[in-house]
Structure 1
Amino acid sequence: MTRYALVTGASSGIGLAMAEALARRGRNLILVSRHRDMLESIALEFTQRFGVEVLFRACDLGEPLRLSGFLLELEEGERQIDLLVNCAGIGNSGPFLAQEWAQEQDLLDLNVLALTRLCHTVGNLMAVQGGGQILNVASIMGFQPGPWMSTYAASKAYVLHFSEGLREELKKTGVKISVLCPGPTRTSFFRTAQLNADKFTDDKTMTAEEIALYTVRALDKNRAIIIPGRRNRFLAQLPRLTGRWMARKIWGSILKSRTSA
């Protein structure tokens, strides 16, 4: 039976870079994103360049009914998924009380609920077939409070802790769980999250392609927590080095000064 890697958020950023890194290794892909035209173009390009089978599904995973329909397709389908890359996610910034609640709910629906439901459905499919691997994408923000990005940071803390817990639970099923915690990356995230990219990035900031290359190698080693870049590994340790009260103040000062608003 043909095996596939399922990548969400695959039309841009780290999701697209992960899909390309896997295609380079000869992996057949199922790509998921809201943007059908972009997925169609990516699927054609990867098929031609790498000689792999690339299927795609345009779906807004943050909408519960559409997510349920997609999950039902996976459960009733005959394609075997041995790698799930949960990369779909959104961010926002600014004072929590000033945010439109609909935007906050969209973030939680996608970053938390959709990721968890995908892990539940695909994890069960993998357990039945005797194993597989799941990579959830969090952030170094998951290690500390993020004033002025409070909901986003909390959602990534959930992904981090959920993934670590799931890793222990599923050991005997043969399903391996890893969590990727990148730092600032050269993607469109800053624009969509209303952050000033120039204040977050410099010539040492990793690209999505560098993140993906590091990550696929770490997956080969079944690493539990994947933090690409020495600077990012230091930032992840900041609350331990300074204390959480100081980390709140440091990150609050940084993030407040770097919102686009």
Structure 2
Amino acid sequence: MPRFALITGASSGIGLALAEALARRGQALILVARQRDALDSIACELSQRFGVEVLFRVCDLSEPLQLSGLLHELEQNGLHIELLVNNAGIGSSGAFLDQDWSREQELLELNVLALARLCHGIGALMARQGGGQILNVASVVGLLPGPWMSSYYASKAFVLHFSEGLREELKGRGIKVSVLCPGPTRTAFFRNASMDIAKIDGGKLMMSAEEVAFLTVKALRRAPAIIIPGWRNRLMAAGLSFLPRWAMRKLAGRLNRTALSL
């Protein structure tokens, strides 16, 4: 029976790049996202290019009933999942009180609750199967508060701290937990969040999703607690530790306001 890596948010961006990087190394995959046509095409392409088994499941993870259905199906089918990649997530930007609450709720359901639910459900499967590995995707912005993107920054702080806590809890059950904290990455995230990252740095410091995926998959062999791809991002993360909290708030708020033209 093949051992699968299950990747959420696998139809684009970092999730798609991770799927390709893992397939290149011979890893069988289960791809999860909302877009059936995109998943079908990606699964066929990766299977043909790399000769690995690629399954896909269409699921809106922000909908609790769909998520429960996915977990039930995985358990009933007895699929052996050796790696869970919780990559699915969305962002929102602008003043919190001016946001439509349904969008904020969707963000919290997907970025926080769905991720925790998958760790709980698939983590239990891994424990029964003798072990596994979990990679949760956070962000370097999880290291600081983020005015005008308050919910998004806070959701990534949850992912960071939750993952570190799980790492200690689950190591005795043979499950390794790592958290990925990429910096700005060339994906559709900024466009979907109505942000113009070019107003901040012209995109010069941004990494490609493929670069992030390559460095991440390479690091997964060591299973470190925190993966920060790229020396600039590691330098930035280290520098933040010297700033007082009020300075972090001011810096992040200024950058976000600039990107939003506020």
Provide the TM-score with structure 1 as the length reference. 0.98
2:259 & 2:62 partners in 1: Cα distance?
27
Q: What percentage of residue pairs aligned between the two structures are identical? A: 64
Aligned residue in 1 for 2:41:
41
Q: Write out per-residue CA displacement over residues 155-209 of structure 1, whole angstroms, 9 at most, x where no aligned residue.
A: 0000000000000000110000000000100000001111113225523311000
DSSP 3-state at the match of 2:61: coil
* CA contact 2:142–2:155 (8 Å) conserved in 1: yes
Q: How does 1:142-181 map to 2 (within 5 A)?
A: 142-181=142-181
Q: How does 1:11-50 map to 2 (within 5 A)?
A: 11-50=11-50
Q: Write out per-residue CA displacement over residues 42-82 of structure 1, whole angstroms, 9 at most, x where no aligned residue.
A: 00101110000000011100011111111111121121000
1:123 & 1:65 partners in 2: Cα distance?
19
Aligned residue in 1 for 2:127:
127
DSSP 3-state at the match of 2:204: coil
**Runs of 5+ consecutive residues of structure 1 not aligned to the other structure:** none
> Which amino acid in structure 1 is aligned with residue 195 of structure 2?
L
Aligned residue in 2 for 1:214:
215
> Which amino acid in structure 1 is aligned with residue 230 of structure 2?
G
* CA contact 2:164–2:179 (8 Å) conserved in 1: yes
> Which amino acid in structure 2 is aligned with residue 120 of structure 1?
H
DSSP 3-state at the match of 1:4: strand
CA 1:98–1:4 in structure 2 vs 1: closer, same or farther (change >3 Å)?
same
Q: Which runs of 4+ in 1 moved over 3 A?
A: none
Q: How does 1:55-94 map to 2 (within 5 A)?
A: 55-94=55-94
Aligned residue in 1 for 2:246:
245
* CA contact 2:32–2:56 (8 Å) conserved in 1: yes
* CA contact 1:84–1:122 (8 Å) conserved in 2: yes
Aligned residue in 2 for 1:194:
194
DSSP 3-state at the match of 1:29: strand
- Answer yes or no: is 1:230 the counterpart of 2:238: no
DSSP 3-state at the match of 2:148: coil
2:261 & 2:138 partners in 1: Cα distance?
22
**Runs of 5+ consecutive residues of structure 2 not aligned to the other structure:** none
Aligned residue in 2 for 1:203:
204
RMSD over aligned CA atoms reads: 1.1
Provide the TM-score with structure 2 as the length reference. 0.97
DSSP 3-state at the match of 1:237: helix
Q: How does 1:78-117 map to 2 (within 5 A)?
A: 78-117=78-117
> Which amino acid in structure 2 is aligned with residue 144 of structure 1?
L
* CA contact 2:138–2:157 (8 Å) conserved in 1: yes
Deviation of 1:260 after TM superposition, in Å, equals: 5.8
Q: Write out per-residue CA displacement over residues 97-126 of structure 1, whole angstroms, 9 at most, x where no aligned residue.
A: 100100000000000000000000010000
* CA contact 2:184–2:205 (8 Å) conserved in 1: no
* CA contact 1:89–1:111 (8 Å) conserved in 2: yes
1:144 & 1:13 partners in 2: Cα distance?
23
Number of residue pairs aligned between Structure 1 and Structure 2: 261
Aligned residue in 2 for 1:258:
259
Deviation of 1:144 after TM superposition, in Å, equals: 0.3
> Which amino acid in structure 2 is aligned with residue 108 of structure 1?
L
